Structure 1
Amino acid sequence: MKNNVELKNGIVIFLGIGIFFLLMDFLGLADKNYLRILNAFIVLYGINETIKTNSKAGKTDYLENLVSGFKTGVIGVFLGIVGLIVFIYIKGGESYLDRLSNTFFFGEDNNIIKYCSILFFEGIASSLIGSFTLMQYWKDVELKAKV
C-alpha cells in the first residue's frame, strides 16, 4: 500500500513539474531563473501528500515517514530528469541546452549528462531537506493528536 502512495505522488510530482516547465517554455519564460524556484513547491506538495496519507493510515513512525517522503521526492525527481532529457533532445539537443545553461549557473562547457546530473543531485538534496522539514511539521501534528 505505502509503495503505491510513494509511486502515485512521485508521478504527481513528475506531472506537476513537467506541466510547469512546459508552460514556462510555451510562454517564453524558460529563461527566467527566479520562476524555477516554484518547482520546489510542487515537490513539497507531493512529499506532503505521502506523509499525510501515511499519517492518516496510522503510520506515525518518524523515520518510516521521513524515508517514505524522501522516496516520493526521488521518484518525482528521477522521472522529471528523464523527461527533461527527452525534452532537450526534442527541442534540439545540445543547442537548446546551451540556451538553458546560459540562464543558469552551470558555466560554459556543458553537456546533457553533466547538466541533468547536477539537477538530479540538487533534486535529491531538495527532496531530503523537504522531507525533513515536512516531518518536523507532521511530528507536531501527530503529537497534538495523541494528547
Structure 2
Amino acid sequence: MSTKKIIITNALLITILIGGFFFLSKLLGLAGNGFLRFFNLVFVLIGIHQAIKTNIYTNKVTAFTTNLGVGIQTSALAVALSIVGVVVYLEVINPDFMQVIQNSFLIAGDLSLPEIVLTLVIEGFASSVIGSFIVMQFYKNHDKEDIS
C-alpha cells in the first residue's frame, strides 16, 4: 500500500470521527460544551496510530523519522479537512454557531472566521506533531525482525 494512500485513508478516518462526534454532540445538545473538543485529540491519536501501524506492518517501514512523518502528514491532512468542514458549517449550514464558538472557553472573544481558522490551524498542527511523537514512543523500538 502506498504511503500516500495510508495518509489519505487515515486522515479521512480522523475527519469522519471528528465530524461524526460533532454531529452526535449537536444532536444531544452538547455542541456548545468546549470540554468535548478534547475528544478530538483521541480521534487524532487513533488515526495516527493506525497510519503508523499500517506503514510498519504493511510497507515494512521501520525508520523512526519516516513513520513520524507519516503520522504528522496524516493528522495535518485531517486537520485541514476538518477546518474546511468547520468553515462550510459556519458559512453555509449554521452561521449562528459562530456565536457558540466565540463564547467557548477555548476561543474566547469576538474573533472573526479567519482568526478562528488560524487558531484551529495552530491548535491542529500542535496536536499533529505532539500526537505523532506520542504514538511513535510505542513503535520506536520496532525492528525488522518484529515485522517479518
TM-score normalised by L of structure 2:
0.90
Contact 1:14 / 1:77 at 8 angstroms: preserved in 2? yes
Contact 1:14 / 1:79 at 8 angstroms: preserved in 2? yes
Shift of 1:144: 8.3
Q: Percent identity?
A: 34
> Counterpart of 2:82?
80
Matching residue's letter, 1:87: Y
Shift of 1:38: 0.7
> Counterpart of 2:67?
65
Q: Can you give the 5+ residue segments of structure 2 that lack an aligned partner in the other structure?
A: none
Superposition RMSD in Å? 1.7
Q: Give the Cα–Cα distance (whole angstroms) in 2 for the partners of residues 61 and 123 of structure 1.
A: 24
> Counterpart of 1:103?
104
Aligned pairs for 1:132-143 (under 5 A) are: 132-142=133-143
Matching residue's letter, 1:130: G
Shift of 1:143: 8.1
Q: Give the Cα–Cα distance (whole angstroms) in 2 for the partners of residues 19 and 105 of structure 1.
A: 21
Matching residue's letter, 1:86: V
Contact 2:49 / 2:135 at 8 angstroms: preserved in 1? yes
Q: Give the Cα–Cα distance (whole angstroms) in 2 for the partners of residues 105 and 6 of structure 1.
A: 28
1:21 and 1:142, CA in 2 relative to 1: closer, same or farther beyond 3 A? farther
Shift of 1:142: 4.0
1:46 counterpart = 2:47: yes
Shift of 1:90: 2.9
TM-score normalised by L of structure 1:
0.91
> Counterpart of 1:8?
9
Q: Can you give the 5+ residue segments of structure 1 that lack an aligned partner in the other structure?
A: none
- Matched residue of 1:37: which SS? helix
Contact 1:47 / 1:73 at 8 angstroms: preserved in 2? yes
- Matched residue of 1:104: which SS? coil
Shift of 1:113: 1.1
Aligned pairs for 1:120-139 (under 5 A) are: 120-139=121-140
Shift of 1:141: 4.2
